[in-house]
Structure 1
Amino acid sequence: MRTARRTTAPYACAMDFAHSARGTLGVEWELQLVDRTSRDLAPVAPAVLARIDDDRVKGEFLQNTVELVTGVHGTTDAAVAEVRELRDLVVAAADAEGADVIGSGTHPTARWRGQPVSDSPRYRRLIEHGGSWAERLLIFGVHTHVGIDRPRQQTVPIVHALLDHLPLILALSASSPYWQGHDSGYASQRAMLFQQIPNAGLPPDMPDWETWERVAHDLVHVGAADGLTELRWDVRPSPRLGTVEARIADGAPSLAHLHAVTALTHCLVEERMRALDDGTEPERIPSWLVRENRWRTARFGLDAVMITNAEGATMRVAEVLHSTLDRLAPIAEDLGATAGIDAAVAVLAQGGSSAQQREAMIAGGMDAVLEHLVEAMRD
């Protein structure tokens, strides 16, 4: 019997990785524009962007969304200060258009059908490739970029560290309990929706840099993605910017929530880089347990019971987060992240955004949930 000969493209995929100073920071924050009367999503991003005329405020997949993109900063506090400036610009421009701004991972009541998509070849390809699951991406997040100066040595260990701590970032940020007017039962409905499209959710388990180059090359070569930016994993290397990018966080309802998630992510990356400097190798959680942790945290948020080691030990996420924030305090002092760690402690004390939205629902129904989100953004 003859067997088909397997053909492959020549393997020449050494990846260029932009130079970045170690530990530098950039933040991206996706914000929703809502009608002032109905509180439904409003496709006024083009008008808002025209009023601002600042390339740090960008359009996104849908015309009801704008994205704040900071420059490169040396400290958490400096990055968040720029975010505050951009948030104020958007709130003022939206106000002039009769709209308000909210920042949760999903809009609590909006329907995904019929939302106007921004006119971009990239977004048209996303719809064509992802079909109705791509059309359902009425979701909003926070992305944190941290610069690395030795990509071949640092990138994959940092990705592993962020995946092992993924429940902490996701639980601290979880802000999407409601979907199309109903309680989804999840703290982060966004995390469950986003993983449905190709090359989203958890990345493949990659033991080293060479494997990452191979995986990225093969996925682009076979047409699974048009480029590296279409590998939309929860945590990924970003060679164009010279960073590792954490993408798991839900949209931040307030500047305080954004400060908390940014500080936690920044400090976790620096902690892993210091371990590399010392030649230490922290124990990894197997990929199948990382997957289980992701689901548990999306479902239960801060109340999730996460798996903490390869032997299957467990602890409530909120408890692990408390001890982790204490452990990171010295690193936070060096990174200008102490105020962000304090903000994370405050988010924990308040129970997180998902819990706060559910409390607002009990107190005053869905109108109260939406008002809570509008006020949180203006605070």
Structure 2
Amino acid sequence: MTVEFAASDRSTVGLEWELMLADPATGDLVGRAPELLEVLEANSAEERYTVTGELLTNTIEVTSGIGDSVAHAVDDIANAIAAVRTATDPAGVELLSAGSHPFAQWYDQEVTDKTRYHTLIERTQWWGRNMMIWGIHVHIGIEDQRKVIPIINALSAYLPHLQALSASSPFWAGERTGYASNRALVFQQLPTAGLPWQLQDWAAYEAYLDDMVRTGVMADATEVRWDIRPAPRWGTIEIRACDGLSTLPELAAVAALVQVLVEHLSREIDEGRERATMPSWYHRENKWRAARYGLDARLIVDAAGAQRPVRDHIAEVLDELAPVAVELGCVREFGSISTILSEGASYERQLTIANATGGDLRAVVQHLIREFRSGPEASTERP
């Protein structure tokens, strides 16, 4: 199977953000996306951003245009959210974002009436119906198809760092899970989801797709659901490991870290430097540790099995790659990663609210609604 990789400018940025729709009083999810999207999709037709539906009717997704910087793409997302609020505010619907909803139940949710979604649910059954998960996707432009697989292989070592920074799903269906990112482990239950296979080159990726399509595992490349995957149609690699970020500044921060990492790895390829690799079983263990412990995880950082606290390792990466952030024009957003490290990721803030209110998960949802509207500083407000 031959798969063409579209032309794309180097290190451009595209963002996708899945947003929950909730009742402002109860905090419960509401399946009102179909009625809201009738107007929103039409109104966004001439804009840089798009507003679309998702698997469940309780979700709206906003997508940026191609940004020549992180700020450019984030501005698109901000404009998209403002447009969405012109429909949701009058309709009495609130917005929030996290990897999971603290107390919603899968059997209360409706699947969007599209053939591909019904096909997915029919095949995956209980796991598919339990996909009450929300995330962000970060696209970075790659100018040379030959770089795609090597960058994906190298970037896989940083997926647990991104997962820990974005972790925002400590609750599931009304229970405290003990995980920072329960979403990460739920999502990998779908066919072709989870960590990417370590492939040698683009030809090996095409061979993989040929095997999957020929055996009926999937219809085409869009059904590859890896935590990081090629996006041939757009000429990008797409990072999908992150939980839904709870605020726009955090989305910008993670997007900047991804952009800087990809540009750094691209330069190493240009200079002919070979990246040190780790066995796939270390990558798998690191994913579990980041999901379980979030920013308190200790990660395996090399093939010899050396281990480091993820907070320390991220701080080292920030110091090492700061000059690249300057060149890409994302210093402010890149620097906000330090704020997440010092003030806590969304899962930590949610747990703080739950602990302060005797485990009241409705208070946690109201906290998330406030944060999404007002920013991380809203987390200091009592419900």
State whether TM-score is above 0.5. Answer: yes
> What's the offset of the Cα at 1:51?
3.8
Aligned mate of 1:370, from 362, 365, 368: 365
Aligned mate of 2:56, from 39, 58, 62: 62
* Partner Cα separation in structure 1 for residue 317 and residue 87 of structure 2: 39
Partner of 2:33: 45
Q: Would you say the 8 A contact 1:30–1:65 is kept in 2?
A: yes
* Partner Cα separation in structure 2 for residue 335 and residue 221 of structure 1: 41
Q: Would you say the 8 A contact 2:170–2:176 is kept in 1?
A: yes
Partner of 2:83: 89
Aligned mate of 2:208, from 196, 208, 215: 215
Give unpaired runs (5+ residues) of structure 2: 375-383
Structure 1 letter corresponding to 2:164:
A
Q: Would you say the 8 A contact 2:136–2:245 is kept in 1?
A: yes
> What's the offset of the Cα at 1:205?
2.0
Partner of 2:377: none
Is 1:163 the counterpart of 2:151 in the alignment?
A: no
Q: How does 1:145-160 map to 2 (within 5 A)?
A: 145-151=139-145, 153-160=146-153
SS in 1 for 2:240: strand
Partner of 2:303: 310
Q: How does 1:112-127 map to 2 (within 5 A)?
A: 112-127=106-121
Partner of 1:128: 122
SS in 1 for 2:354: helix
Partner of 1:73: 67
Structure 2 letter corresponding to 1:50:
E
Is 1:246 the counterpart of 2:239 in the alignment?
A: yes
Q: Would you say the 8 A contact 1:161–1:269 is kept in 2?
A: no
Matched residue count: 366
Structure 2 letter corresponding to 1:357:
Q
Partner of 2:343: 350
Aligned mate of 1:176, from 138, 144, 169: 169
Q: How does 1:253-292 map to 2 (within 5 A)?
A: 253-292=246-285
* Partner Cα separation in structure 2 for residue 334 and residue 47 of structure 1: 43
* Partner Cα separation in structure 1 for residue 2 and residue 35 of structure 2: 42
> What's the offset of the Cα at 1:278?
0.7
Aligned mate of 1:139, from 114, 133, 144: 133
> What's the offset of the Cα at 1:31?
0.3
> What's the offset of the Cα at 1:215?
0.5
* Partner Cα separation in structure 1 for residue 139 and residue 339 of structure 2: 23
Structure 2 letter corresponding to 1:286:
P
Partner of 2:11: 23
**TM-score scaled by length of structure 1:** 0.94
Give unpaired runs (5+ residues) of structure 1: 1-12
SS in 2 for 1:187: coil
Is 1:296 the counterpart of 2:289 in the alignment?
A: yes
Return structure 1 stretches of 4+ with deviation > 6 angstroms: none
Structure 1 letter corresponding to 2:373:
R
Deviations 1:180-204 (A, max 9, x none): 1111111001001000111101122
Deviations 1:282-335 (A, max 9, x none): 201211100110000000000000000000000011111111112221111122
Partner of 2:378: none
Partner of 1:186: 179
Structure 1 letter corresponding to 2:323:
P
> What's the offset of the Cα at 1:261?
1.1
**TM-score scaled by length of structure 2:** 0.94
* Partner Cα separation in structure 2 for residue 50 and residue 339 of structure 1: 36
Deviations 1:18-74 (A, max 9, x none): 111111111000000001111100011122223423240001100000001111111
Structure 1 letter corresponding to 2:141:
G
* Partner Cα separation in structure 1 for residue 327 and residue 62 of structure 2: 25
* Partner Cα separation in structure 1 for residue 227 and residue 244 of structure 2: 14
